[in-house]
């Protein structure tokens, strides 16, 4: 794996005194998807039902998955199934596309997708929350950098405060 480092030049956000989560943009099956939460603490990659429907994926593409997963606060969450989708990280010439197995959940959230450890490990991604950036090697060996959109991150947070309980 190539050397990946972060410097002060990697910080591109508007507020240097931040404690924001990593919220990025990806492309899933040729659709640009905003409000993607990068969550290093999650053992699964999640595609939320509202996003599943917007991506125009046929329900027949989803495979059954009858187990529950345990949410952040210990609650048990039912799954609708899982689907394998090609997901592209980065933009322009510096991208990497991988197949990701997403669990599909129907829960209230301000995010569209949650990228957990499985996709981050498949990318070879290193996340730096102080820099609000994520880096990984492209297939050509170049280092791809993805920056957080801090305004969108804060919009997601504010929206999450208004969500009704599931």
Q: What is the CATH number of domain 21-162?
A: 2.40.70.10
Render the chain in DSSP notation, one character per residue: -------GGG--SS-SS----EEEEEEETTEEEEEEEE-TT-SSEEEEHHHHHHTT--GGGSBP---EEE-TTS-EEEEEEEEEEEEEEEETTEEEEEEEEEEEE----S-SEEE-HHHHHHHT-EEETTTTEEEEE-TTSPEEEEE--HHHHHHHHHHHHHPPP-
| 151 phi, psi to nearest 5 deg | -65, -45
118 close to 84: Cβ distance less than 8 angstroms: no
Q: Is the pLDDT of residue 63 over 90?
A: yes
If you average pLDDT over residues 82-104, what whole number do you get?
96
Mean per-residue pLDDT of the chain = 90
More confident: 45 or 108: 45
23 close to 152: Cβ distance less than 8 angstroms: yes
- How confident is the model at residue 28, as a pLDDT? 97
Q: Is the pLDDT of residue 6 over 90?
A: yes
């Amino acid at each position: 794996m190539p050397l990946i480092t972060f410097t002060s030049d990697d910080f591109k956000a508007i507020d240097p005194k931040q404690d924001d989560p990593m919220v990025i943009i990806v492309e899933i099956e040729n659709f640009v998807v905003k409000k993607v939460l990068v969550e290093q603490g999650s053992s699964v990659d999640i595609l939320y039902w509202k996003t599943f429907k917007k991506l125009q994926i046929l329900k027949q593409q989803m495979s059954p998955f009858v187990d529950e997963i345990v949410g952040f606060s210990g609650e048990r969450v039912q799954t609708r199934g899982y689907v394998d989708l090609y997901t592209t990280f980065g933009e322009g010439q510096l991208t990497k596309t991988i197949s990701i197995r997403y669990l599909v959940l129907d829960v209230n959230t301000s995010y569209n997708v949650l990228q957990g450890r499985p996709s981050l490990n498949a990318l070879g991604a290193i996340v730096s929350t102080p820099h609000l950036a994520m880096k990984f090697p492209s297939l050509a060996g170049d280092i791809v950098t993805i920056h957080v959109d801090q305004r969108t991150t804060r919009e997601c947070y504010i929206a999450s405060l208004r969500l009704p309980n599931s």
